[in-house]
Structure 1
Amino acid sequence: MSKRHDAMHPGRRRFLQSTALGAAALPVAMLGAGAKAAEVGGIKLPAAILALQPVKSQVVPITDDERRARLAKAQELMGRHGMDAIYLDGGTTLDYYTGMRWWTSERLMGMLLPRSGDPVYITPAFERSRALEQIRFGHDVRTWQENESPYALIAQLMREHGASTGTLGIEEKVPFFRSTGIAAAMPQAKLAPATPVTAGCRAIKSPAELALMQVANNATLALYKAIWQSLEPGMTQQHIAAWVDAGYARMGLRGEASINVGTYTALPHGSREPQVIRDATPVMLDDGCYVEGYQSDITRTFTLGKASDQMKRVFDVVAKAQRAALAAAHPGAAMESVDAAARKVIVDAGYGPGYTYFSHRLGHGIGMDMHEWYYLVEGNPRKIEAGMCFSDEPGIYIPGEFGVRLEDDMHVGADGARWFTPQSPSIERPFG
């Protein structure tokens, strides 16, 4: 249930703000000997973490042919939705279509994709050579100097495509100051959300995308199991931070995890307060990693040693709700119906009404961004389509006592939904 809405945004969910490591935000090559050492930052790495192995051999990157098909689908959707072109900033969607990994700043760098023909890239003049290093689709690169308006350049491109009075779709993550600048430069044109195109492509995952997400989910679950096997009462969040960074580094990945203990598990996104692992106290471990840009998001709630009867009961109710959501997620089902299926189990067990104890939506779309289209939430009648992926994460949170959330990502096929990872079997034995 990560708070992050963009691809591994550094610092957004780091549970250890004061650590000297911060390795999850760094390329593995920059970790030096830390990825192999038996100790990191003065914290000993347990055998289960040291046993984690690289996943590189399992990773098959997205091909250029698949990206060409994505561009073609985008242009088909643009025609269907009456758009003459769409504008994308640097970021996840540009990466999705082109493989370019260029993160936006106050300087406009992006791509204009017309309804027909090759994409056109707009970049600061001094960045042209760096952009050319990554461009693989089309050869038209337009540059602007620091004393020139990039918005005027976009307006010029629209005129060249005979669309100066047409409709330009704007990617939803383009900053407001940028979209208003574009609008001012082409007052006769209409600006519209490009979401029917961008989400229309990205929300439906290909087999290659599902394979990358499977590797990411497997890696996160393997790391969580290694952490659970190694925890001892008295350990702190600093221990887990070191293990997470080193564990993902050993697998050749980057990722994060939040850990919350005891009464803090009753807060869906936990707390930054220092916490210590205690025997027979609930522990909630959440977040994920990314593989070739594709995300995982898994939550496990467990105890070290014996759990109380109340904890076991709550766990069992949440597990039943998670299974009900999985069964309800199939092509043609309304997205709100999946939330309703899980919520009914929880309310019928006495943890209601509504959002009283299950205080958030059932799930979110997931893919290249950890949170993306669409949401499994009351009030969303959109129909599920084959190829969509969501988190399935019901929870019960009892203020001042404890909370339980179980989260696995699921992908929807023609015959229904399946989890990428096996459901947690019990609060005392979360990995069987």
Structure 2
Amino acid sequence: MISDSRPAPISKDEHADRIARLRTAMQAAGADAILLGSTTSLSYFTGLIWHASERLVGALITADSLSYIAPAFEVSKIETLERIDGDIAAWEEHENAAALVARLLGREKTLALDDALPFFVYSALARQIAPERLIDGGPLISALRAVKSPAEIALMQYAMDATLEVHKRVHALIEPGIRASDVVQFIDETHRALCGSGSTFAICSFGAATSLPHGVDDDQTYAEGDIILVDTGTIVGGYQSDMTRTYVKAEPAAEFARIWAIEREAQQAVFDAAKPGVAAETLDDAARRVIAAHGLGPDYQLPGLPHRAGHGLGMDIHETPFIVRGNTTPLVSGMCFSNEPMIVVPDRFGVRLEDIIHMGESGPVWFTKPGKSPTEPFA
């Protein structure tokens, strides 16, 4: 159920604390400064929301300064937007934004780069700053962003509650003859009504199309007895929700019911494996052991699980930590990630049950409780 009290947005004090921790990480990595682009990391650290274009807008953070980088004609707009305090260093249309960054950085200094910056920004910087002094700032950023604060988790919980209610209303809505596009439109409208933000994405698949993890481009029509897969999310205060349900609204075929039960068992195995300090890949392994024990797979073979068992969630719909083989990152309190070890039976159907976990001090916590059965998609 959605709370009547919407969580507060991230405060300026929390943004300031994030920058303080970023500066500590920069020092440990031997970086004199870090350049953030028009990415969610810019919003994460400074509160400024700006959509990327061919013009560089971002922030240069050093040990003792914060300078927003922007075209001169956008300065008046930036001054009106929510952000923490900092100078604004402007460049005119005929000037080189990378040269401005280089001047602010200073000679012989090392610059860490937001890993979501586009290549054209990097290539321009590399003509102004020796490439060996440009380092990957992604590990610094992702390590901080991966651990959510109570304020972030509250925003995500509110968004997840809204998306759960959307799923419930979709379940009641779907009847023979309805088109997938009608469902997608309903999802967006209902998200907006519940939390003020539309869907960041929405997938509605029927029948054999459920075997394609991200659906089909064709507009399908639901027929009685079809398998239904709905995957959607929204955004609240900059933070994402993400949830998938797969079910039928009739007596399930025996094979679908069998695969649904294996999927739910694999999902529970991921949850049970999510202990503080264990490597992220351990959770993927747990799902695959269940699936293989039932004669599916192994590895990425089909019928079975064709992709990772989950992904981090926060300001981006996919972010660290990724629940995938080879990821030895230890789980710590505050990490948030999806649990979705989808099982695909090619050309017949797929079953994805996706709920989000956040790590507590003593173990995993569901944002939303898993589905109950092939015909009862909600706990």
TM-score (norm: length of structure 2): 0.96
Cα deviations by residue, 1:313-367 (Å, 9 ceiling, x for unpaired)? 1111100100100111122111111000011101111111111121010011110
Q: Which residue of 1 is the match for residue 34 of structure 2? A: 86
- Say yes or no: does 1:342 pair with 2:290: no
Q: Which residue of 2 is the match for residue 244 of structure 1? A: 187
Out of 354-363 and 182-191, give the one that drifted further.
Answer: 182-191
Of residues 18, 21, 44, the one that matches 1:96 is 44
Q: Which residue of 1 is the match for residue 367 of structure 2? A: 420
Cα deviations by residue, 1:208-238 (Å, 9 ceiling, x for unpaired)? 0000000111111100001101211121113
Query: Aligned residue pairs: how many?
Result: 375
Question: Aligned equivalents of 1:238 and 1:132: distance in 2?
Answer: 40
- Amino acid corresponding to residue 355 of structure 1 in structure 2: Y
**SS of 2:283's equivalent?**
helix
Question: Aligned equivalents of 2:132 and 2:340: distance in 1?
Answer: 43
Contact preservation (8 Å) 2:266, 2:341: yes
Contact preservation (8 Å) 1:212, 1:294: yes
- Say yes or no: does 1:110 pair with 2:58: yes
Of residues 6, 13, 21, the one that matches 1:65 is 13
- Say yes or no: does 1:377 pair with 2:324: yes
**SS of 1:172's equivalent?**
coil
Cα deviations by residue, 1:356-409 (Å, 9 ceiling, x for unpaired)? 121010011110000011211111122112211110001111112111010001
Q: Would the alpha carbon gap of residues 348 and 56 (structure 1) be closer, same or farther in structure 2, given more than 3 Å must change?
A: same
Question: Aligned equivalents of 1:223 and 1:354: distance in 2?
Answer: 34
Q: List aligned pairs for 1:200-219, cutoff 5 A.
A: 200-219=143-162
Q: Would the alpha carbon gap of residues 189 and 155 (structure 1) be closer, same or farther in structure 2, given more than 3 Å must change?
A: farther
Give the root-mean-square deviation of aligned CA atoms.
1.5
Q: Which residue of 2 is the match for residue 308 of structure 1? A: 253
Q: Would the alpha carbon gap of residues 174 and 263 (structure 1) be closer, same or farther in structure 2, given more than 3 Å must change?
A: same
- Say yes or no: does 1:365 pair with 2:312: yes
Question: Aligned equivalents of 2:311 and 2:131: distance in 1?
Answer: 37
Percentage of matched positions with identical amino acids: 39
Q: List aligned pairs for 1:158-307, cutoff 5 A.
A: 158-159=105-106, 164-187=107-130, 190-251=133-194, 252-255=196-199, 256-307=201-252
- Amino acid corresponding to residue 141 of structure 1 in structure 2: I
Which ranges of structure 1 fall in alignment gaps of 5 or more residues? 1-51
Q: Which residue of 2 is the match for residue 131 of structure 1? A: 78
Contact preservation (8 Å) 2:110, 2:134: yes
Contact preservation (8 Å) 1:424, 1:430: yes
**SS of 2:208's equivalent?**
helix
**SS of 2:266's equivalent?**
helix
Out of 136-145 and 418-427, give the one that drifted further.
Answer: 136-145
**SS of 1:355's equivalent?**
coil
Question: Aligned equivalents of 1:84 and 1:254: distance in 2?
Answer: 40
- Amino acid corresponding to residue 365 of structure 1 in structure 2: G
Contact preservation (8 Å) 2:39, 2:117: no
Q: Would the alpha carbon gap of residues 263 and 86 (structure 1) be closer, same or farther in structure 2, given more than 3 Å must change?
A: same
Contact preservation (8 Å) 2:60, 2:68: yes
Q: Would the alpha carbon gap of residues 188 and 165 (structure 1) be closer, same or farther in structure 2, given more than 3 Å must change?
A: farther
- Amino acid corresponding to residue 419 of structure 1 in structure 2: W
Q: Which residue of 2 is the match for residue 32 of structure 1? A: none
Contact preservation (8 Å) 1:293, 1:368: yes
Contact preservation (8 Å) 1:119, 1:137: no
Contact preservation (8 Å) 2:6, 2:158: yes
Contact preservation (8 Å) 2:210, 2:228: yes
- Amino acid corresponding to residue 183 of structure 1 in structure 2: A
Contact preservation (8 Å) 2:35, 2:114: yes
Contact preservation (8 Å) 2:281, 2:327: yes
Higher-RCO chain (CA-CA 8 Å, sequence separation at least 6): 1
**SS of 2:170's equivalent?**
helix
Q: Would the alpha carbon gap of residues 205 and 211 (structure 1) be closer, same or farther in structure 2, given more than 3 Å must change?
A: same
Question: Aligned equivalents of 2:174 and 2:181: distance in 1?
Answer: 12
Q: List aligned pairs for 1:137-152, cutoff 5 A.
A: 137-152=84-99
- Amino acid corresponding to residue 267 of structure 1 in structure 2: L
Question: Aligned equivalents of 2:91 and 2:135: distance in 1?
Answer: 24
Question: Aligned equivalents of 2:184 and 2:310: distance in 1?
Answer: 26
Question: Aligned equivalents of 1:231 and 1:136: distance in 2?
Answer: 43
Cα deviations by residue, 1:176-197 (Å, 9 ceiling, x for unpaired)? 1111111211227611111122
Question: Aligned equivalents of 1:396 and 1:107: distance in 2?
Answer: 43
Q: Would the alpha carbon gap of residues 174 and 137 (structure 1) be closer, same or farther in structure 2, given more than 3 Å must change?
A: same
- Amino acid corresponding to residue 248 of structure 1 in structure 2: H
Contact preservation (8 Å) 1:330, 1:413: no
Deviation at 1:418, TM superposition (A): 1.3
